[in-house]
Copies of this chain bind each other. A is one copy, B any other.
Amino acid sequence: MKINSNFLNVKESYLFSTVNKKINEYKETHKDCNIIRLGIGDVTLPLPKVCVEAMEKATKEMGVKETFKGYGDEQGYGFLTQAVSNYYAKKGIVLDKKEIFISDGAKSDLGNILDIFSIENTVLIPDPVYPVYVDTNIMAGRKINFINGNYENNFLPLPDENTVGDIIYLCSPNNPTGSVYNKEQLKIWVDFAIKNNSLILFDAAYEAFITDKNLPTSIYEIEGAKKCAIEFCSLSKTAGFTGTRCGYTVVPNDLEYDGVKLNKLWLRRQTTKFNGVAYIVQRGAEAVFTNRGYQETRKNIAYYLENAKIIGETLRKLGIWYVGGENSPYIWLKCPKDMKSWEFFDYLLDKANIVGTPGAGFGENGEGYFRLTAFGSRENVIEAMKRLEKLDLFK
């Protein structure tokens, strides 16, 4: 038996383990320090009450013969695919229920979708980037091209005549940079994809953080996108589902390559290698899309966005360049005084007891940048910003 040797090409990521190691070492020698973590990529507010109530009800149903549920519907329960379809309708996007696949999260589907594409495709990935786009393709042995996000393009790269990619990853609002493509920019990507017979994998996991009405929350707001894009969405950050696991993937009926509908291929893949999301969790997800669910989830998102705003205001005051922080829970800043990412990490930890994430961990173009997140408590965010303002660096 031979292993898939492509796995040996995946680089070990020491990003978060190194972060934790450095924190622990620091604590050893600074017993009384009060470290504030602004590097956390996980939500901290509890599930909305409406979701809890829906799941309690569903759990009770599972204990009674008459309402017990065994295997669910192939693409997810109709009540949930309908709710997602209605959510898109409010954005002016018409989706058939059969174009929606309920998943256990965007991460699973972003990885598993690659099953239905040839190994021969060349992949195009922005740098800096959420690491799983790269790793999943290395595991499969695909050629990867990178497109540069940088200071000049506000970390929103666009294709030019030299850009080559059959499968294109876009993430907007972006992880890690928090930057958001506008409609004109996405249109350039959609036109590029159609012209080159490419496919866009659009990661919209943070779409619920967009409050600016002019910014697209779905790639299907762009004309032509249904012919060239799959969209991945998640309730992880929308409704605090990181530990509850539910998302959805849209594979439009119009998507056709080599004369084959991708919707049919993905259905085949999922019915063969997946058995759906727990009924209880699907009921919790359904609750997110009710009016009450919308209000409760938006309240939590507003809380995180206010944190981001407080961080952004401080950075502006200190003259630090950054993107994100609006329409996103992430703030991507240029390290002051041209420090390297890890240099700034060490400095912040030592001088302010603040932990963030070094940008260099997200790709070559992340060097010299730093990610802060808005998922902490208000109290900690305010305290951290006070500490930041007092640093000698800014005097």
Contacts and interface: CB of A to CB of B under 8 A. Distances in A.
Interface of A: 1-5, 7-8, 10, 42-47, 49, 51-52, 55-56, 59-60, 62-65, 68-72, 104-105, 107-108, 110-112, 115-121, 132, 135-136, 139, 166-167, 197-199, 240, 242-245, 257-258, 260, 262, 265, 268-269, 272-281
Contacts of A110: 273
A15 to B, nearest CB: 13
Contacts of A70: 42-44, 240, 242-243
Given A3-B116, A244-B279, A280-B280, A108 B273 contact: yes
A134 B4 CA distance: 19
Contact of A111 (B4, B44, B272): B272
A139 B265 CA distance: 10
Given A2-B117, A59-B55, A117-B2, A278 B278 contact: yes
Contacts of A265: 3-4, 7
16 contacts: A2-B120, A7-B265, A45-B65, A47-B68, A55-B62, A56-B59, A59-B59, A62-B243, A71-B243, A110-B273, A111-B273, A132-B272, A244-B278, A244-B279, A278-B280, A280-B280
Contact of A257 (B2, B49, B119, B260): B2
A258 B6 CA distance: 13
Contact of A2 (B43, B258, B275): B258
A144 to B, nearest CB: 15
A274 B132 CA distance: 10
Contacts of A111: 272-274
B139 A278 contact: no
Contact of A72 (B116, B243, B279): B243
